Amino acid sequence: MKRRTLLQGLIASAALFPLEGMTAKRQSSLRYLRPPGALAEDDFEARCIRCGQCGEVCPNRCIQYFGTENGLASKDTPFIIPREQACILCMKCGDVCPTDAIEKVERKMEPILEKVKMGRAVVDENLCLSFQGKTCGVCYRACPLQDVAIRTGLLEQPHVMSGCVGCGLCERSCIQLPQAIRIFPDYS
Amino acid sequence: MNKPFFLWKHLNKLRWLTLITVFAMLITIPYLHVYQTYLAAHAYDLLQPDEKQIYDTMEMLTTPFVDDPEEDLDFIKGNTWSGTFGGFQLSDPLSIVGQISASLKVYWPFILTGLLPFILTAVFGRFFCGWICPATLLYELNTNFAAILRRVGLHVGNKRYDRRLKYVVLGLGVLVSVVTGTVVFATIYPPALVGREIYYAVALGGFGSGAVFFMLTFLLDLLIARRGFCRYICPGGALYSLIGRFRLFRIKRVVESCNDCAKCTSICEFGLDPLKDSFGQECNNCTACIAICPVDAMTFYVSLQDIGPQGPGHAGPKYKRQQQELADGQSDNE
């Protein structure tokens, strides 16, 4: 190959792949979840081929896709903002994922508890109505894993248990503004 | 005179039909997804008028085929980058190359999804580029638009570069994937991009930043080089050219009936030169040259290699002059 050709190729490619932006460490202030069964963050970005099928099967329309706001490395990868639309743990995205970036998890209690680690709910007792003496309990009723992931105490005060997988339905349903229960993501 | 099989002249129409069907599917599948989400929500009465329109249209389209649309429409998902047809998954070979180089792991179920495209490419060469790629439809329409612009006297790009540039892009893409650990091909490969952006536009409310990149490639084709992206940059085209290097189905010129009119050379989207028998691994079997040939001098044949230059066509003036000169030379010798 002629040197001129190689140079042209290098220049064209340099314009195509903004290297620096891709290797820069992520410093996003976004709080987002990955779909249920997703691999650890670095593995996930390497495995995901950005085909968009997880979003296309999601019956709840909770899966959105990154633009450039979370760094170029995660461009077009799926994420969930639970306050906007939370995951209903239907596990269809794992079934359709061709690369197993989202693992296949059977839609049953045990496999979900074992494999799904989207995050964990944390209650802000200063905001939660039940902790202010007004009986609420909405988060408990929204939870698909009641008494495994969350239980209620006095005045329906929510207590998150070790079974929480972080689907975000509690955060989605919280009637406080801003929400008193939040999912803190677990990217490992 | 050996006439080519008569149907091959109509393959170009079939190709346009295929391209349009694939593109229409890429638009329909996101709408089907939206329809499924409406079904899952069980809230027809709460939909906006335009949402109701989507619901009604999709209901009308799918009712004859499915019993339980909410589940059955999962039958077909995805795009040309990676798709699912009734549990059978197909992926672009480039996505597999990109994914392996990004994760440095071999996940066999995924690689097997690329087996059928790989075999088809090995047999038919770069056929994906001409027959399926959703970006090709837009790029070819763009070429036609450029032809109109040229006719009214505007300057459109007709620069030529080295075709091997795209192999450099492919190699660098693999390298960048390894270094950064992300599948960079997904963001720069037009078919992946088009499928994804259509989905974003239909289901997620607007085009993403990939659409900007796609418009840039569009302008490159229009203003700098005709089909420039496919010919010089596209990493997928490079990969397919490599896989299809020893493809079985090739196009050849029947030198006995060719009259050197050069229509094939001017129609060729990839700037190849069928008149000089130069097809090589770049040819995507789009059959445009077969369709346009006025004397049926283009045909398919099965071979592992091109036949090489055959000289001027026997029905053309140049060949006749050569023969005349030969005859004159022989008569001079005698």
B230 is written with which tokens?
């496919």
- Flag whether pLDDT at B202 surpasses 80: yes
From the CA of A14, how many Å to the nearest CA of chain B? 9
B contact residues 8-67, partner A, Cβ 8 Å cutoff: 29-30, 33, 36-37, 40
Mean pLDDT of A152-157: 88
Domain membership flag for residue A48: yes
CB-CB contact of B22 with B313 (8 Å): no
Domain membership flag for residue B139: yes
Question: Residues in chain B, how many?
Answer: 334
CB-CB contact of A127 with A180 (8 Å): yes
Domain membership flag for residue B46: yes
3-state secondary structure of B156: coil
Q: Given an 8 Å threshold on Cβ–Cβ distance, is A56 in contact with B29?
A: yes
**Do B209 and B279 reside in the same domain of the chain?**
no
Whether residue A41 lies within 8 A of chain B, CB to CB, comes out as no
**Do B137 and B234 reside in the same domain of the chain?**
yes
Read off the pLDDT band of B235 (50, 70, 90): very high
Which residue of chain A comes nearest to B182, CA vs CA?
A: A46
- Looking at residue A14, its pLDDT comes to 63
Rg (CA), chain B: 24
DSSP conformation class of A176: S
Read off the pLDDT band of B262 (50, 70, 90): confident
CB-CB contact of A150 with A120 (8 Å): no
Domain membership flag for residue B216: yes
Mean pLDDT of chain B: 88
- Looking at residue A10, its pLDDT comes to 63
Partners of residue B107 in chain A, C-beta under 8 Å:
47, 99-100
**Do B236 and B254 reside in the same domain of the chain?**
no
- Flag whether pLDDT at A24 surpasses 80: no
Domain membership flag for residue B326: no
Q: Given an 8 Å threshold on Cβ–Cβ distance, is B209 in contact with A75?
A: yes
Kindly report the CATH number assigned to the domain that includes residue B282.
3.30.70.20
Query: What percentage of chain A exceeds 70 in pLDDT?
Result: 85
Partners of residue A9 in chain B, C-beta under 8 Å:
164-165, 168-169, 172
Mean pLDDT of B218-247: 90
Separation of alpha carbons B31 and B199, rounded Å: 8
**Do B312 and B166 reside in the same domain of the chain?**
no
- A63, A66, A76, best to mutate vs chain B, most B CBs in 10 Å: A76
B65 is written with which tokens?
């085929």
Mean pLDDT of B6-35: 91
- Flag whether pLDDT at B234 surpasses 60: yes
Which residue of chain B comes nearest to A42, CA vs CA?
A: B181
Whether residue B183 lies within 8 A of chain A, CB to CB, comes out as yes
Domain membership flag for residue B32: yes
Alpha helices in chain B (DSSP H): 11-41, 49-62, 69-72, 93-103, 108-113, 115-124, 127-131, 134-151, 165-180, 185-188, 190-203, 210-219, 228, 235-243, 263-267, 288-292, 317-333
Q: Given an 8 Å threshold on Cβ–Cβ distance, is A12 in contact with B82?
A: no
Mean pLDDT of A141-155: 90
End-to-end CA distance of chain B: 32
Separation of alpha carbons B218 and A88, rounded Å: 40
- ipTM for the predicted complex: 0.83
**Do B25 and B112 reside in the same domain of the chain?**
yes
From the CA of A60, how many Å to the nearest CA of chain B? 6
Structural domains in chain A (count): 1
Separation of alpha carbons B169 and B172, rounded Å: 5
Q: Which residues in B89-109 are b (16+ Cβ under 10 Å) and which e?
A: bbbbbbbbbbbbbbbeeebee
- Flag whether pLDDT at A22 surpasses 80: no
Separation of alpha carbons B303 and B309, rounded Å: 15
- Looking at residue A15, its pLDDT comes to 63
pLDDT tens-place string over residues A29-59: 788 999 998 988 888 888 899 999 999 999 9
- A2, A25, A43, A50, best to mutate vs chain B, most B CBs in 10 Å: A50
The residue out of B241, B263, B296 marking a domain boundary is B241
Q: Given an 8 Å threshold on Cβ–Cβ distance, is B74 in contact with A96?
A: yes
Partners of residue B184 in chain A, C-beta under 8 Å:
17, 22
Domain membership flag for residue B334: no
B217 is written with which tokens?
């490639």
Read off the pLDDT band of A16 (50, 70, 90): low
Mean pLDDT of chain A: 85
Domain membership flag for residue B113: yes
A163 is written with which tokens?
């079974």
B294 is written with which tokens?
């006025």
Q: Given an 8 Å threshold on Cβ–Cβ distance, is A13 in contact with B164?
A: no
Mean pLDDT of B234-242: 92
What DSSP assignment string belongs to B257-322? T-----HHHHH-TT--BGGGTB-GGG-----HHHHH-TT--EEEEE-SS------S-TTSHHHHHH
Domain span including residue B209? 8-241
Q: Quick one: how far is CA B297 from the chain centroid? A: 24
Structural domains in chain B (count): 2
What DSSP assignment string belongs to A62-82? -EEE--STT-GGGTT-EEE-T
Domain span including residue A94? 30-185
From the CA of A171, how many Å to the nearest CA of chain B? 19
**Do B228 and B298 reside in the same domain of the chain?**
no
pLDDT tens-place string over residues B281-293: 888 888 888 899 8
B265 is written with which tokens?
């050379």
pLDDT tens-place string over residues B98-112: 999 998 888 898 999
Q: Given an 8 Å threshold on Cβ–Cβ distance, is A47 in contact with B107?
A: yes
Q: Given an 8 Å threshold on Cβ–Cβ distance, is B33 in contact with A57?
A: yes
Q: Given an 8 Å threshold on Cβ–Cβ distance, is A13 in contact with B168?
A: yes
- Looking at residue B254, its pLDDT comes to 86
